[in-house]
Amino acid sequence: MTDTSRSTVPDQFADARWFKSSFSNDNGGCLEAAFLPDGRVALRDNEDLGNPPFVVSARVWRCWVDGAKNGEFDLPA
């Protein structure tokens, strides 16, 4: 289990509304996202909440989602 008592996550994410894929379960190991007020998207690993989220622009997020929908990030067979 990760110790988040000494979190380095900036306060700007304190009110972020995090969500994860409906394909995730409660066993951890999920990537979570939050849409920020300025239009950017924050991403975090829910198993390591002590690390600051990775933040991308809305354009980068849309490009990644489109690629994922097209199978560009599928694991190799």
What predicted TM-score, i.e. pTM, was given to this entire model?
0.77
Residue ranges covered by each domain of the chain: 13-69
What mean pLDDT do residues 30-51 have? Answer: 92
Asked if the model's pLDDT at residue 27 lies above 90, the reply is no
Q: If you write DSSP's letter for every residue of the chain in order, what string do you get?
A: ----TT----GGGTT---EE-TT--TTS--EEEEE-TTS-EEEEETT-TTSPPEEE-HHHHHHHHHHHHTTTTPPP-
Mean pLDDT of the chain: 85
pLDDT in tens, 57-74: 999 999 999 999 999 999
